[in-house]
Structure 1
Amino acid sequence: MDETEIPTLFLCPISLQLMRDPVTVCTGITYDRENIERWLFSCNKNKTCPVTKQSLSHNDLTPNHTLQRVIQAWCTDNIGAQTILSPKSIIDQTEIFKPLFESKKFPEKQLKCLRMLEFIAFESESNKNCLNSAGAIDFLASTMMLNKSQGVSNSSAIMSEVALEVLFHLNPSESQLKNLMNKEGVQFVESLFEVLKLGKFRSRAHAAVLLKSAFEVAGPTQLSNVTSELFVEIVRVLRDQISQEASKAALKLLVRLCSWGRNRSKAVEGGAVLVLIELLLDVSERRTCELMLIALDRLCGCAEGRAELVNHGAGVAVVSKKILRVSQVGSDRGVKILTSISRHSATPRVLHEMLLFGAVSKLCLVLQVEGSFKAKERARETLKLHSTVWRHSTCIPIPLLASYP
């Protein structure tokens, strides 16, 4: 049946789909429970009514039984359905405390309890909110840390992955993650690292996202004391291309960590520069490309990173290619990388490759087009620095020579 034939009263104002479980918010507007819960309990934590834009004094959702019966009757008469989906039951906190208590008291029931929490979490957004309020975040993190400390076994790996799955979908808040990192930061990171290293693709993707979020609230000491092995696993997530979400999380984590201590050298040792260059050759998505160039810029802040880039056959070429083709952010970072190379790694071979692969021509072009002042200044400084080698080269197109400083 065409959706336009359904009475407007029966449609959820957010999604314009037939309401299955109508509930009313404090402003008097009725929505489908699943849609309004997604609005209220998403990571943005919306506090307004989507229709009236009024602030909501509370998040209580009152079932609209009258409308539910009217929709039920209309469906039976018009589309031959004897029934529509039953409203989802609202979980009570006592139902959550029971599996939490049993899991702690009876270790042999731990997996069964985790599966129960998983079922509850996937039922609805309000269930996730209820799990959060009941302290499930701390319980799930503790379960992961406990199974990690008990060594590698099939059962402990399964329990860690189930706990991680639920933890990921509960989407811990910044304050909850900060609390975890302050109390048991080392053990929590190690448990996520274990899944990143040994877990299945789906679990590794979730671990990468949670690690990124955890290190966003970590302190300077935690950020500086990251192990070389963690960088190896971050690079492996990028290489395996598990999912776009996992790749972006790994890139953001790399960018975050490479501002601290010896992390840049550790990341280079883990193969970060080589993987980023190879991925840049084919990447087309704007934000992903920007993150890769930002990460490469951070890594070129150390001698090892610059050496890896110039020793890769496509390193200079791929960075040059991305300038003026991605975005202003991408161009700025690309110019900064070339400036760093020409300032600190300017061997005759490198200078010749910069000419041959179009890096010098791109720097001249940066001076001719609209762009950021900093990028132009860096390009001008780099061209002046090696003008005796580059200025009269036939590799630079004649129209671009006019802009050579």
Structure 2
Amino acid sequence: MPFSSPSSTGHHSAADRPAMDDHDGDEVPRYFICPISLQIMKDPVITTTGITYDRDCIERWLFVDRRPTCPVTNETLPAEAELTPNHTLRRLIQCWSARHTDRIPTPRTPADLPTIQRLLQELSGPSLCLLSSIAAESESNRLLIIRAGASRRLLCFLTKASPASAYSALSLLLSLRLPPEDLGPLLSDNYDLIESLTALISSPEHHPNAILFLKTSFDLVSVKLLERLKAEFFHAVAGIIRAAISNQSTKAALQVLLRSSPWGTNRTKIVAAGAAAAIIEMELRGDRDRRMTELGLAALEQMCMCADGRAALAGHPAGIAMVAKRMIRVSPAADAKAVGILTMLSKYSATAEVVQEMLAVGAASKLCLVMQADCLSGVREKARFVLRLHLGFGRTRLV
């Protein structure tokens, strides 16, 4: 059982766990130890249950892990749990540490609402940097910035700011980890924001955070907005896949394409932007992981629902070979998408050249292996359909 540290009245309970020792062999007083981390506290604060914790630990417990109870007493803590600085204990810890180990610095005073509101009103490069620094100091600061209306203010600022300032605003937005209920109403039909993000992701030095925030936005925007996306937008997203700056950026770009692709007009724009070739070349580079391959094949399957997409895949020198090669090597989800792609080609674009290439790159043998594997529902039926096409093609060739 973890032990409790002093409450606001100064009482504390005995612990079963041995106390920590410092470098000189002197025993660390038990009430200096945070019950969560079992380390000496740097910024002790008291909860409403009277137990003292290190601020960073209890804030993570309450606000990141979302556990609404006191770790020691298991009592429920209010949603807006007030954490009172334990100044007496902090001074005792600092005096003891100065004599025995390195001196523990005095923690910064938590931010106050008027200061945060003033910084949000005067948004600029310096104030954005200061807000980011304040948010990084503690979970309570991060939540205070959100409560001060940061989401609306930052999103308005993004649509008018210079690229450098917009990038700083995006960094702050991502670090705030804003909940969907805060962002959703502000993003639903915010086409100006999409235009601004398109400009940012087109710039290599600015796109990493822009594409990550764009991916978050696309989970919340309306269908009406998705149907209005321009060709320039898809060219910018495909450019991120080609640039291969990081796996995280590439995955975000692929997820944006997938979110956009259910509409036929968007599929045509995605193909015209060269996204099929970008994904095939991404796989050929060998810098992808399992999730990237699954997303890439899913995007290709969506593109193959239109004639231009099937032509782009079949027309790439390594397109069909790459799809066949990924089967049985990645995951059941990747197998399902690969079989779906080959099914689309076989059903709607089965020219003699396409079928011959599928045979030449070993697609038929891979499909046989997929049918024997533990594949997802419906995959065996699709694989069987493609194999029947191959058998029919073989008989025609014999005749």
Q: CA deviation at 1:133?
A: 0.6
Once structures 1 and 2 are overlaid, which stretch shifts more, 272-281 or 28-37? 28-37
1:169 match: 175
> Structure 1 residue 73: deviation in Å?
3.3
Asked if structure 1 preserves the Cα contact closer than 8 Å seen for 2:146 and 2:176, the reply is yes
* Identical amino acids, percent of aligned pairs: 40
Correspondence for 2:104: 84
**Quick one: structure 1 residues 95 and 383, their matched pair in 2 at CA, closer, same or farther if it must change by over 3 Å?**
same
SS state at 2:370 partner: helix
Distance, in Å, in 1 between the alignment partners of 2:178 and 2:288 is 31
1:268 aligns with 2:271: yes
Letter in 2 for 1:387: L
SS at 1:262's partner residue?
helix
TM-score, with normalisation over the residues of structure 1?
0.83
Task: Report the TM-score when normalising by structure 2.
Answer: 0.85
Which residue identity lines up with residue 46 of structure 2 in the other structure? Answer: T
How many angstroms apart in 2 are the aligned matches of 1:392 and 1:187? 56
Deviations 1:41-76 (A, max 9, x none): 33x645445566664323322223344234323322
Of residues 198, 218, 237 in structure 1, which corresponds to 2:203? Answer: 198
Q: Does 1:336 align with 2:358?
A: no
Match of 1:5 among 21, 31, 50: 21
State the partner residue of 2:193: 188
Q: Which residue of 1 aligns with 2:77?
A: 56
Unaligned runs of 5+ in 1: 104-109, 148-155, 394-405
Match of 1:207 among 194, 210, 233: 210
Which residue of structure 1 aligns with residue 224 of structure 2? Answer: 221
CA distance in 2 between counterparts of 1:304 and 1:54 reads 61
Which of 23-32 and 262-271 deviates more? Answer: 23-32
Distance across 2 between alignment mates of 1:332 and 1:17: 49
Question: Structure 1 residues 75 and 305 mapped into 2: Cα distance closer, same or farther (>3 Å)?
Answer: same
Partners of 2:297 and 2:388 in 1: CA distance: 24
> Number of paired residues?
372
Matched with 1:34 is 56
Task: Measure the CA separation in 2 of the matches of 1:49 and 1:297.
Answer: 49
Instruction: For residue 301 of structure 2, give the secondary structure of its aligned residue in structure 1.
Output: helix
Q: In the alignment, which of 116, 132, 135 is matched to residue 96 of structure 1?
A: 116
- Residue by residue, what CA displacement relative to the aligned partner does 1:75-126 show, whole Å, maximum 9, x if unpaired? 22322x2x213213211101112233445xxxxxx44433332332233222
Structure 1 distance, partners of 2:250, 2:45, is: 38
Q: Which of 37, 46, 66 does residue 24 from structure 1 map onto? A: 46
Deviates more, 1:290-299 or 1:381-390: 381-390
Deviation at 1:40, TM superposition (A): 3.4
Which amino acid is the alignment partner of residue 86 of structure 2? Answer: N
Q: Which runs of 5+ in 2 are unaligned?
A: 1-18, 23-27
- Rounded to whole Å, the distance in 2 between the matches of 1:78 and 1:375 is 66
- Say whether the 8 Å CA contact 1:274–1:309 is kept in structure 2: yes
Please state whether the residue corresponding to 1:23 is helix, strand or coil: strand
**Cα shift readout 1:323-382 (whole Å, capped 9, x = no counterpart):** 121111111111111111111111111111111111110111122223223111110111
For the Cα contact (< 8 Å) 1:297–1:336, is it kept in 2? yes
Q: Distance in 1 between matches of 2:291 and 2:132?
A: 32
CA distance in 2, matches of 1:10, 1:99: 36
